[in-house]
Structure 1
Amino acid sequence: MSDPWDGPAGQATRSRSARVPGQRVAEPDGTRQPGGRAAARAAARGRGGTRGHRARPVGRAKKVLKGLGIGMSVVIVVTAGAGWWFYEHLNGNIHSLSLDGKGGSEKADAFGRTPINILVMGSDGRTNAADCKLGGGCSKTGVQTGSNADVEMVVHISADRSNATVMSIPRDTMTRVPACKDSESGQSTSGYYGQINSALQYGPACQVATVHQLTGIPIDHFVKLDFSGVVKMSDAVGGVPVCVSDDVYDTYSHLKLSKGTHTLKGEGALEFVRSRHGFGDGSDLGRTISQHIFLSAMIRKFKSAGTLTDPTAVYGLADAATKALTVDDGLGSVKKLISLAADVNKVPTKRMTFTTMQTAPDPDNKDRVVVGPGAKTLFATIANDQSLTTGSGKKSTAASATAKATTPAVPASQIAVTVENGTAVTGRASAIAAALTDQGFSSGTTTANAPSPATTTTLTYGTDQKAQATTVAKALGLPTSHLQQGTGTGLTLVIGSDWASGTSYPGGSSSAAPADTKTAVGGAHASTADQAKACAKVSPYKTVSLNGVAMTPAQAYAAARGKPDSDD
């Protein structure tokens, strides 16, 4: 669709250069051509005053019409010019950076459609005076350089735009950060093992590469938002309604609310999304859930009647968004951002699923976490463009965005395969085993060398394990003619010389294993964006401190009666 400002602006430019119809044209000596209105008046006088008198109303009408025409032209020019100015103004607000191909690439479905995966990052940077004031911590250091990604969400929009999944990655997750170099600051790293949110210090593209490496999910785009950005966006939508299950005062983020529903704007909204001591167990895990409640409410506000049809509201949103966001080059224009918003708007709220990556305690640090059971299945579900809800909005037992599938007798996460290399190519078994675990198969999948060279790839299964073998074969594109029942137990895949490269069997038609929704959302705190009555669960533990005394957030609220609430 053409940009709404393109047409009028182009017409206005042409109208300025065109000669007005009926304009007088002077001769070289400065004399006027005979005729025209002067000649007509003279002729009228020669014919008598009566006829000349009758002609006056016609002259007035012409003047009125000409005046209206000029007025309309001015309105058109001014309106078109304003539209073009707004368009250029919004484009000028946008700050975009290159991803440098670090996020991988999406695969099209059978109809040529591709899903969209966006990494949304909330930066904790105090890189300007406004963010220092909002985030605090600059009294000793002053304005800082660098930042961490304290909020990370992978936003997946399906290829057919029928569903979406939002997966939060806790900031305390330990992982491997790859070699990176920030295109703006020049700061670089050769790679290290550390907290996932620290990758942003080497630029947004590095944070994208780290998440892609951890999850296997291709990341097409990124959106980065700072403290002041949250304030601007919440103000632009007129506030976001949220609910808390009890009185809460987080003495760290300064969020203070009484039990019930509140509409938060500006700094109050920022305090809510930053609060990690007020909700859940007082960790980043509880914060991701409250952030999902906030985002669900904001999405419902965007979709509510009138929000996206009011030109003033739309401009306010666009102006706030373009000022607040840093994006990749693929989203670096108003047209592209509008197109993305339209794609999101196509997805019903009941089919937008919010999840948090499953974690387990880091054995080396009790204050950190690592990827937990079920997370690889959740990763695979997103990477394979599979939905976590059905068309009715209920949790899916096995739904794909583009194809119907039946639930396997045994979930993929419970299927372990012994992969043996029967080729002369080093690493073939490891490559296939990795492809299986990336699709959500059990981490108990192992590798070995085949007892002897094999010319044909075979998948041998034990008694009553044909269903599992079929699921494996489908995931790898291995024809069923390569399956055979053995006398032992378990599944053994022998890679033959007929499959010397790649992770999909040559000539086969591989497709992702059916979505194992139960495992994908198990422990992921799944919710959908239509749950308007959801309340953030206030922590029952002594997670905050007031005047040096440890308290629960509700106790702190009662003890700080004199402090105004965040929605005042």
Structure 2
Amino acid sequence: MTDVSHRRGGSATGEGTTVPGPRRARRAAQGAGRGGRQAGIRPGAEGRRAAGRGRARPRKRSAAKIAAITTSTAVLVVAGVGAALYEHLNGNINGLPLIGGGSEKADAFGRTPINILMLGSDGRDNAADCKIGGDCGGGENADVEMLVHVSADRSNATVMSVPRDTKTELPTCTDPTTHQTMQAHVDRINSTLQYGPSCTAAAVHQLTGIPVDHFMKVDFSGVVNMSDAIGGVPVCVSNNVYDPYSHLKLSKGTHTLKGMSALEFLRSRHGFGDGSDLGRTVSQHIFLSSMIRTLKSAGTLTDPTALYGLANAATKALTVDTGLDSIPKLLGLATDLNKVPSNRITFATMQTLQDPRDSSAVVPSSAAQNLFNALADDQSLSNGSGGKSSTATATPSPAQPAVPDLQITVQVNNGSGVTGRASQIAQDLIDQGFSPNSGSANAPVPASATSVHYAPGRQAEAQTVARALQIPASRLQQDSSVSQVTVVVGSDWSSGSTFPSSGGGSSRPAPADAKAAVAGANSSTADQSKQCAQVSTFDTVSVGGVPMTPTQAYADSPNVPNSAP
């Protein structure tokens, strides 16, 4: 199975610092055909945007485009087109290089997982997008970021949303199109799209430790065309809802959303949950789950005319990496995705806390590391209850919270008989991001087998260390005589910074705690057809200048037509 070291890269230039991005420069480099204005950079524009991203401010940016991506891949599975139509569809696709996303490791059977970063841009660089709404003054941020993990054996998948206002250390990266460079600094992760999708992929890889193999970005107006082509997506809302900012207005119950109504639903951040982007990710998951069920249902895509319209809209909407920039490549990916049954597709949102320095931003909570570890270890999270994956080979304690690598101090004891082994491994752990207080010493007695010892209540920390060193789960031992995670290097590990797979016992690294991975992540599976989007009970909207709940706004706006019957 895949094992990924959680290395930390880049240094911050200062909390909240914003590096001005080459917004219009990219569109100039891509050519007038993409509708960009040939204008200069507007320094500081992102800083002005970020300053006003509190919950009370209306957002007129799309959080919808991600739905189109899933449609585009699913439809291509069944698309049978002639040569002329094939060339037409192939010519629709725009491909860009992917740099800095990391790389996968094959399992014992030579199979590798697939991790696809799905992006929805808030750019308004053409007349169609501006007509729909939002800021049309230029600029591009990642309004939606979802990492889709498809297991190496193609039996399960996980879709993890990374909230767009997540503040984290961003890596140095260069836009392969404009050649503009972003220096490492701390900012919202969605700002990286100013330097191209490849930069966002590098940032997500640095944040999570999960390799990003591909990216797919969809444009704004494509959502409208594609939701029309699919014939609509049924969604349920828990109560009457009116969000004046996205213009979504629905009565309690189930509605089939097409075109603009689908867009309004996916854009609405004030209508659901706590009225923030976190609540919106959950309603997006409900929409995508329903769309997957619709696409997989019998007869949904049997009409050749509708099928071509959907494929045409899908390919026009996509910007992908060069590993996916043709119909055959997309077909191969779509075939893999189509193998996963709905009840084995898990949706989750990265666990976060409010940024203590910026109330309009969030930071990953310590619990997010368990979710990252599970995906990096290729574990299924699709049993619905959030329990441990059946592929795991150890029994982790579900009650133990995740601890950031930087807070884990490791003692490495050398029992191998090879001088310097403990200090080498301790330094490697520090380089990977573990506590700089980690140290090394000689073991009291020689050891023939490498092992990892942990005090009661510290199993999750030991698992994290074992994964970083690729030590099998069978080598973990609870030991009341140690106060911190202690690695004893045996004679079976005489060289190298990772444990050799032939070193005896199971070759599978220590598994992540799969139950903890989905704790607090609002997880669900795509087969949950009775799930409704929970309308906010907070005063997240206003009508006539009066703050109120979305349900109260519905009652107070009888002259506003519903988005769907």
Q: What TM-score comes out, normalization by structure 1 length?
A: 0.75
Aligned 1:438-517 pairs, distance under 5 A: 447-451=437-441, 459=451, 461=453, 475=467, 476-478=469-471, 487-494=481-488, 501-505=496-500, 507-508=502-503, 510-517=507-514
Aligned 1:536-551 pairs, distance under 5 A: 536-551=533-548
1:147-197 alpha-carbon deviations (Å, 9 max, x no partner) = 111110000111111111000011110011111222223332122110010
> 2:453, 2:462 within 8 Å by CA — same for their partners in 1?
no
| Counterpart-to-counterpart distance in 1, 2:477 and 2:292 | 48
| Partner residue in 1 for 2:128 | 130
Deviation at 1:472, TM superposition (A): 7.3
> 1:353, 1:389 within 8 Å by CA — same for their partners in 2?
yes
Amino acid across the alignment from 1:564 = P
Deviation at 1:399, TM superposition (A): 2.5
| Partner residue in 2 for 1:28 | none
Equivalent of residue 390 in structure 2, options 387, 399, 410? 399
State which drifts further: 318-327 or 412-421: 412-421
| Counterpart-to-counterpart distance in 2, 1:469 and 1:184 | 41
State which drifts further: 550-559 or 287-296: 550-559
Amino acid across the alignment from 1:285 = L
Aligned 1:142-291 pairs, distance under 5 A: 144=138, 146-291=139-284
Deviation at 1:426, TM superposition (A): 6.9
| Partner residue in 2 for 1:418 | 410
Amino acid across the alignment from 1:275 = S
> 1:117, 1:219 within 8 Å by CA — same for their partners in 2?
yes
| Counterpart-to-counterpart distance in 1, 2:427 and 2:278 | 33
> 1:543, 1:553 within 8 Å by CA — same for their partners in 2?
yes
Task: Tell whether 2:509 aligns with 1:521.
Answer: no
> 2:224, 2:258 within 8 Å by CA — same for their partners in 1?
yes
Deviation at 1:394, TM superposition (A): 5.6
Deviation at 1:342, TM superposition (A): 1.8
SS in structure 1 at match of 2:389: strand
Deviation at 1:477, TM superposition (A): 4.7
| Partner residue in 2 for 1:90 | 89
| Counterpart-to-counterpart distance in 2, 1:547 and 1:410 | 48
| Counterpart-to-counterpart distance in 1, 2:152 and 2:271 | 37
| Counterpart-to-counterpart distance in 2, 1:374 and 1:482 | 21
> 2:423, 2:439 within 8 Å by CA — same for their partners in 1?
no
| Partner residue in 2 for 1:367 | 360
| Counterpart-to-counterpart distance in 1, 2:247 and 2:452 | 60
SS in structure 2 at match of 1:399: coil
SS in structure 2 at match of 1:388: coil
> 1:428, 1:500 within 8 Å by CA — same for their partners in 2?
no
| Counterpart-to-counterpart distance in 1, 2:552 and 2:262 | 22
> 1:307, 1:314 within 8 Å by CA — same for their partners in 2?
no
| Counterpart-to-counterpart distance in 1, 2:547 and 2:426 | 54
| Partner residue in 1 for 2:102 | 104
Query: Taking structure 1 as reference, are residues 544 and 332 closer, same or farther at Cα in structure 2, changes over 3 Å only?
Result: same
| Counterpart-to-counterpart distance in 1, 2:308 and 2:486 | 60
1:112-154 alpha-carbon deviations (Å, 9 max, x no partner) = 111111000111111111111113233xx3xx2x311111000
Gaps of 5+ in 2: 1-79, 415-419
| Counterpart-to-counterpart distance in 2, 1:182 and 1:472 | 33
| Counterpart-to-counterpart distance in 1, 2:240 and 2:194 | 36
Equivalent of residue 530 in structure 1, options 521, 527, 545? 527
| Counterpart-to-counterpart distance in 2, 1:166 and 1:459 | 34
Query: Taking structure 1 as reference, are residues 499 and 311 closer, same or farther at Cα in structure 2, changes over 3 Å only?
Result: farther
> 1:90, 1:334 within 8 Å by CA — same for their partners in 2?
yes
1:258-284 alpha-carbon deviations (Å, 9 max, x no partner) = 111111111111111111011111100
1:213-246 alpha-carbon deviations (Å, 9 max, x no partner) = 0001111111101211211221111111111111
Query: Taking structure 1 as reference, are residues 428 and 358 closer, same or farther at Cα in structure 2, changes over 3 Å only?
Result: same
| Partner residue in 2 for 1:53 | none
> 2:455, 2:478 within 8 Å by CA — same for their partners in 1?
no
Query: Taking structure 1 as reference, are residues 483 and 242 closer, same or farther at Cα in structure 2, changes over 3 Å only?
Result: closer
> 2:155, 2:344 within 8 Å by CA — same for their partners in 1?
yes
Q: What TM-score comes out, normalization by structure 2 length?
A: 0.76
Query: Taking structure 1 as reference, are residues 310 and 107 closer, same or farther at Cα in structure 2, changes over 3 Å only?
Result: farther
Deviation at 1:489, TM superposition (A): 4.2
Task: Tell whether 2:300 aligns with 1:301.
Answer: no
| Partner residue in 1 for 2:396 | 408
| Partner residue in 2 for 1:78 | none
Amino acid across the alignment from 1:116 = I
> 1:418, 1:446 within 8 Å by CA — same for their partners in 2?
no
Amino acid across the alignment from 1:408 = P
SS in structure 1 at match of 2:438: strand
Aligned-residue sequence identity (percent) comes to: 56
Query: Taking structure 1 as reference, are residues 128 and 421 closer, same or farther at Cα in structure 2, changes over 3 Å only?
Result: farther
Deviation at 1:495, TM superposition (A): 5.5
| Counterpart-to-counterpart distance in 1, 2:230 and 2:364 | 35
> 2:366, 2:401 within 8 Å by CA — same for their partners in 1?
no
| Counterpart-to-counterpart distance in 2, 1:255 and 1:126 | 20
Amino acid across the alignment from 2:300 = T
State which drifts further: 262-271 or 286-295: 262-271
| Counterpart-to-counterpart distance in 1, 2:461 and 2:223 | 49
Over aligned residue pairs, what C-alpha RMSD do you find?
3.2
| Partner residue in 1 for 2:426 | 429
| Counterpart-to-counterpart distance in 2, 1:91 and 1:281 | 42
| Counterpart-to-counterpart distance in 2, 1:224 and 1:557 | 33
Count of residue correspondences: 470
Q: Which has the higher contact order (CA 8 A, sep 6+)?
A: 2
Q: Which has the higher helix share?
A: 1
1:300-352 alpha-carbon deviations (Å, 9 max, x no partner) = 11101112443333322211110111111111111121222221111111111
> 1:461, 1:469 within 8 Å by CA — same for their partners in 2?
no
SS in structure 2 at match of 1:564: coil
Amino acid across the alignment from 1:504 = F
| Partner residue in 2 for 1:376 | 369
Amino acid across the alignment from 1:492 = T
Q: Decide which structure has the larger Cα Rg and report it.
A: 1
Query: Taking structure 1 as reference, are residues 487 and 425 closer, same or farther at Cα in structure 2, changes over 3 Å only?
Result: closer
| Counterpart-to-counterpart distance in 1, 2:454 and 2:101 | 39
| Counterpart-to-counterpart distance in 2, 1:505 and 1:319 | 49
Amino acid across the alignment from 2:530 = K
| Counterpart-to-counterpart distance in 2, 1:341 and 1:170 | 25
Amino acid across the alignment from 1:418 = V
> 2:147, 2:161 within 8 Å by CA — same for their partners in 1?
yes
Amino acid across the alignment from 1:298 = M
| Counterpart-to-counterpart distance in 1, 2:362 and 2:461 | 34
SS in structure 2 at match of 1:263: strand
> 2:426, 2:440 within 8 Å by CA — same for their partners in 1?
no
> 1:430, 1:447 within 8 Å by CA — same for their partners in 2?
no
Deviation at 1:564, TM superposition (A): 1.4
State which drifts further: 447-456 or 83-92: 447-456
Query: Taking structure 1 as reference, are residues 355 and 414 closer, same or farther at Cα in structure 2, changes over 3 Å only?
Result: closer
| Counterpart-to-counterpart distance in 2, 1:396 and 1:252 | 38
| Partner residue in 2 for 1:333 | 326
SS in structure 1 at match of 2:323: helix
1:336-379 alpha-carbon deviations (Å, 9 max, x no partner) = 21222221111111111000000011111122111113111100
